Amino acid sequence: MRAVVYTESGDSSVLELVEREVPEPGPGEVRVRIVRAGVNPTDWKFRAGGMGELAFPEIVPGQDGSGVVEAVGEGVDLEVGDRVWTMLAQHQRPGGTAQEQVVLPAARVTVLPDAVSYDVGASLGVPAVTAHRALTTSEDGPDRLAPGALDGLTVLVAGGAGAVGNAAIQLARWAGATVVSTVSGPEKGALATAAGAHHVVDYTAGDTVAAIRELVPDGVDLVVEVAPAQNISLDLKVIKPRATIAIYANNGGDEVALSVRETFSTNARFQWVLLYTVGQAALTAAAEDITAALADGAFGVGDDHGLPLHRFPLEQTAQAHAAVEDGAVGKVLIDVSEG
């Protein structure tokens, strides 16, 4: 089988296409033939050495993917032929989704509804599970998502044109929230609107706090935040008391300055979101709820859903990584095998 590997940290040129033996699953594991793989910022950050020394002598990148179960180990409920999507495929393992066959723990594989494309399946994982976690940790909100779970609540999604922002908009809208999204211009505003945002605010044009407060005079219940260093002051000015600010990235800076007096008055909760340490219960809940949204036809990718797709063949995985690193708007996918 073909696999893309790297044996040292560096830019995308360290990625190499090689031939490897097809692995066999052990107890509690499945082997998946990957049809489509998704590329996320975490993939190139690991490859570039931003997360420390390499954990294995040779690594196949890729946390997210979709494909077909081809073999199952002992004690696994999945069946050969099941269409599936993956999460955290390369977490604490040397083999991710940038290869034709991958062995994974069954807990990291979820059945993909028949009507849902492999493109959608490969776009879930990191973005959608992160969004689910961000939407389910607030004091006055639900710990699971379903139609009506967020009724009466307002969610502010910072950066609604990004992959996590897009997923947060779609899932929040499915669960009944009123969704406001901030963006950096009209083109990205159109993407957030296509994803389902009720209101879009261009933070480069005028007073963003005033614009949000005009839309939501009582304040927002939950913020899904991608750039806390830049936005925390704004967030504190637009939230209700006991709101939650769920932070999943550090775009724009690593340090966050807080006014203790200003923050005290909000009774705000700051929720940090990193999938690698949320625990299996949260991952399982996310997989179940996201799959329910898929079955309801409430989650999609592509231009019509505000997430343009950029496709690369497996042999161009280096170019796919470079596209994500360079800030491609939308979702970068790798075509691994025939669906």
Q: Do domains 2-123+307-335 and 127-272 have the same CATH topology?
A: yes
Query: Domain 127-272, what fold?
Result: Quinone Oxidoreductase; Chain A, domain 1 (3.90.180)
Per-residue pLDDT in tens (0 to 9) along the chain, 339 residues: 999 999 999 999 999 999 999 999 999 999 999 999 999 999 999 999 887 889 999 999 999 999 999 999 999 999 999 999 999 999 999 999 999 999 999 999 999 999 999 999 999 999 999 999 999 999 989 999 999 999 999 999 999 999 999 999 999 999 999 999 999 999 999 999 999 999 999 999 999 999 999 999 999 999 999 999 999 999 999 999 999 999 999 988 889 988 888 899 999 999 999 999 999 999 999 999 999 999 999 999 999 999 999 999 999 999 999 999 999 999 999 999 998
Dmax (CA) for the chain in angstroms is 60
Q: Following DSSP, what letter does each residue of 62-122 receive, concatenated?
A: -SEEEEEEEEE-TT----TT-EEEESSTTTTSSB-SSBSEEEEEGGGEEEPPTTS-HHHHH
User: 0.85 exceeded by the pTM?
Assistant: yes
Tokens of 35: 């049809």
- Amino acid 226: pLDDT: 97
**Contact assessment for residue 4 and residue 15, using Cβ atoms and an 8 Å cutoff:** yes
Question: ∠ at Cα 39 (38, 43), nearest 5°?
Answer: 135
CB 244, CB 269: distance < 8 Å: yes
Q: Where are the alpha helices (DSSP H) in 136-207?
A: 163-174, 186-195
Q: In this predicted structure, what is the pLDDT of residue 339?
A: 80
For 2-123+307-335, the fitting CATH number among 3.30.2320.30, 3.90.180.10, 3.30.70.3450, 2.30.30.100 is 3.90.180.10
Tell me the angle at which helices 125-135 and 163-174 cross, rounded to the nearest 10 degrees: 50
Return the domain boundaries, the chain: 2-123+307-335, 127-272
d(CA 333, CA 67): 13
- What per-residue confidence (pLDDT) applies to 252? 83
Copy the structure tokens of residue 96: 């991710």
Q: What is the per-residue pLDDT for 77?
A: 95
* Percent of the chain as helix, strand, coil, to the nearest 5: 30, 25, 40
What is the per-residue burial (b if ≥16 Cβ within 10 Å, else e) of 60-97? Answer: bbbbbbbbbbebbbeebebeeebbbbbbbbbeebebbb
- Return the CA Rg of the chain: 20
CB 68 within 8 A of CB 83: yes
- Partners of residue 2 on adjacent β-strands: 19
Tokens of 68: 């077909």
